[in-house]
Amino acid sequence: MKAPSTARRRHLTGLLVLALLGSAPAAWAQATPYPDKPVKLVVPYPPGGPTDIVARVVAQKLQDALGQPFVVENRPGAGGNPGAEAVARSTPDGYTLVVATTAHAINPSLFSKLSYQLMKDFAPISQLTAGPLVIVAHPALPANNVKELIALAKSKSGGLNFGSSGNGQSTHLSAELFSAMAGVKMAHVPYKGSAPALTDVMAGQTDLMFDTMLSAMPHVKAGKLKALAVTSAQRSPVAPDVPTVAEGGLPGYEAIAWNGLLAPAGTPAPVVAKLNAELKKVLESPDVKQRFEAQGFTPMWNSPADYRAFMQAEVDKWAKVVKTSGATVD
């Protein structure tokens, strides 16, 4: 057999080198499986709130499963936008994630200028939770159900007022949706968080509030507030005796508060897939289910594609509410 010429040998050697170089990234990827260093979970709200509680439960479970620290970093302010923007601008390697909420689906319609785009700048991983709000009022308010609340709002000179945890939050827009569907006018009184808003409702300074069950139900159980209805399509196992808004006389009404996990757009698909698969195990574990349900949340896992579709539906839904209410934040 005739030996290859010098030129041909050089050509074959070059091809071999290129092949080895081409396989290097794959070999490196196999040698360094994700994650191989701490992962940061940005919570764009203060510590101790519903989103923070969800994030810390999930972070601990992911840390246990994947063997690397999942560190929660609270970056509150401006409707959750600064924290979301920071993650959108971070390196898309799976080591910086953000826990998104209903507010992030509301913000594109509410804020005239945003430095990020929810549906373009993030890679959805999975939803985490969903849960109703509960309409609470001072025990002396002369309305004990939805029908009576609507009648009172229509009859009272100047209407009723409602508190919220801030402009554009689900506690604000869920009440605006209620007002629009019920054909009533209620004045919005924004606060810096649920706690001060609930304090004024308990004092009778503010008529009512649509708040998370985690924040409001302890005060209901203590007799400082009364619960008129929950905002989900079905009753909550946390308060099975409290009817839904739809049951109470406003058919078709539904508003939920949710959390989900997002990575920066461009995060490698295998990383997103791995996190999604681990979250399925986390959210289906009995202890997580029990812990979340005790606080009024339902664990909600879905595929990245389904979570993206869910977020788009939420963006579209709340855009209509924002337009009807005329709410804006500069």
Query: 139 and 104 in one domain?
Result: no
Q: Which of 272, 250, 252, 270 is nearest to 261 (CA)?
A: 272
> Pairing mode, if any, of strands 70-74 and 39-43?
parallel
Q: What is residue 214's predicted lDDT score, i.e. its pLDDT?
A: 82
Query: 166 and 68 in one domain?
Result: no
Query: 228 and 177 in one domain?
Result: yes
The answer to whether residue 1 is domain-embedded is no
Query: 140 and 124 in one domain?
Result: no
Amino acid at 319: A
Query: 172 and 145 in one domain?
Result: yes
Q: From residue 199, how far is each of 131, 183, 219 by CA, in Å?
A: 22, 28, 10
The answer to whether residue 8 is domain-embedded is no
Query: 137 and 123 in one domain?
Result: no
Query: 284 and 240 in one domain?
Result: no
Query: 320 and 220 in one domain?
Result: no
The answer to whether residue 54 is domain-embedded is yes
Query: 183 and 77 in one domain?
Result: no
- Please state the φ and ψ torsions of residue 138, each to the nearest 5 degrees: -65, 140
Q: What is residue 295's predicted lDDT score, i.e. its pLDDT?
A: 79
Q: Which domain holds residue 84?
A: 39-131+257-325
The answer to whether residue 193 is domain-embedded is yes
Q: What is residue 77's predicted lDDT score, i.e. its pLDDT?
A: 78
The residue from 248, 275, 292 where one domain ends is 248
The answer to whether residue 32 is domain-embedded is no
Per the structure, the count of domains in the chain is 2
Query: 182 and 46 in one domain?
Result: no
Query: 168 and 235 in one domain?
Result: yes
Flag whether the pTM goes above 0.95.
no
Task: Please say whether the beta carbons of 117 and 207 come within 8 A.
Answer: no
Distance CA 322, CA 155 (A): 25
Q: What is residue 9's predicted lDDT score, i.e. its pLDDT?
A: 55
The answer to whether residue 7 is domain-embedded is no
Q: What is residue 141's predicted lDDT score, i.e. its pLDDT?
A: 96
Q: What is the DSSP letter of 252?
A: T
Distance CA 269, CA 320 (A): 33
| Per-residue model confidence as pLDDT tens digits over 35-94 | 999 999 999 988 877 888 899 999 999 999 999 999 999 998 777 899 999 999 999 999
Task: Please say whether the beta carbons of 222 and 273 come within 8 A.
Answer: no
Low-confidence ranges of the chain (pLDDT < 50): 1-2, 12-31
